Chains A and B, each alone.
Chain A
Amino acid sequence: AQKVTQAQTEISVVEKEDVTLDCVYETRDTTYYLFWYKQPPSGELVFLIRRNSFDEQNEISGRYSWNFQKSTSSFNFTITASQVVDSAVYFCALLNTGTASKLTFGTGTRLQVTL
């Protein structure tokens, strides 16, 4: 069985602070894919990034960066110099080749960025 845990239910930061959202996953597969999605108040899930289990290279995209560590089964997401527009619920998700087509989501982390 696969499982995604996002232990942080809600985080509040002041604009320009850095913030890291944690994601821990469980899977028995050796090949799998990890995703981050953003859900703003409008409700639509917006795709942010995808990593496969063979690629542990960390990635930076503008103010966003992702730290994938297989040794700890974690795929954490950092926003640098947060902005009010970053306020949303962020979901980590897992897709493994054994049950391909089904994304398994965590319960999400609500990020509130204030002025």
Chain B
Amino acid sequence: GAGVSQTPSNKVTEKGKYVELRCDPISGHTALYWYRQSLGQGPEFLIYFQGTGAADDSGLPNDRFFAVRPEGSVSTLKIQRTERGDSAVYLCASSPTGARRSTDTQYFGPGTRLTVL
């Protein structure tokens, strides 16, 4: 079946602008995760959704970052007033179950490369 998909694959924006990044998880997967990967680093956790609700948003760096998953499937990561330091690859992953403390294997999408000029 289809894997995790993310759009756009690349996004270039100017400092101060608002951006939205979209993630479509594997069909039937209840849990969805967002990570951020800076150049030369491993991915860092941002937020985890169990169904429609954010079960853990402790990785969001500040209040400019926000994510939603209104129908328990597609998720959108929203970044307000972008800064050059937000430039990174934003990865989305999904896993089958929706347990609050899921230990499932996470399957990743291809990522969105965000560049803030």
Known: A101-B31, A102-B56. A44 touches B105 (CB 8 A): no
Min distance, Cβ A77 to any Cβ of chain B, angstroms? 15
Most chain A CB within a 10 A radius of its CB, from B43, B55, B89, B93: B43
Known: A43-B89, A44-B111. A105 touches B44 (CB 8 A): yes
User: A33 vs B101: C-alpha distance in the bound complex, in angstroms?
Assistant: 13
Contacts of A104 in B (CB 8 A): 45
Min distance, Cβ B49 to any Cβ of chain A, angstroms? 10
Contact across chains for B105 and A35 when beta carbons are under 8 A apart? yes
Contact across chains for A101 and B101 when beta carbons are under 8 A apart? yes
Q: In the complex, which residues 82-103 of chain A have their Cβ closer than 8 Å to any Cβ of chain B?
A: 91, 93, 95, 97, 100-103
- B58 and chain A: residue at smallest CB distance: A102
Judge if B103 is at the interface, Cβ distance under 8 Å: yes
Judge if B80 is at the interface, Cβ distance under 8 Å: no
- B35 and chain A: residue at smallest CB distance: A103
Size class of the B contact interface (CB-based, 8 Å): 20 to 34
- B107 and chain A: residue at smallest CB distance: A47
- A6 and chain B: residue at smallest CB distance: B42
Known: A33-B103, A35-B105, A97-B103. A45 touches B43 (CB 8 A): yes
Known: A101-B33, A101-B56, A101-B101. A44 touches B108 (CB 8 A): yes
Known: A44-B109, A101-B31, A102-B56. A107 touches B42 (CB 8 A): yes
Contacts of B62 in A (CB 8 A): none
Q: In the complex, which residues 85-117 of chain B have their Cβ closer than 8 Å to any Cβ of chain A?
A: 89, 91, 93, 99, 101-103, 105-111, 113
Tell which of A47, A101, A103, A106 touches B55, judged by Cβ atoms closer than 8 Å.
A101
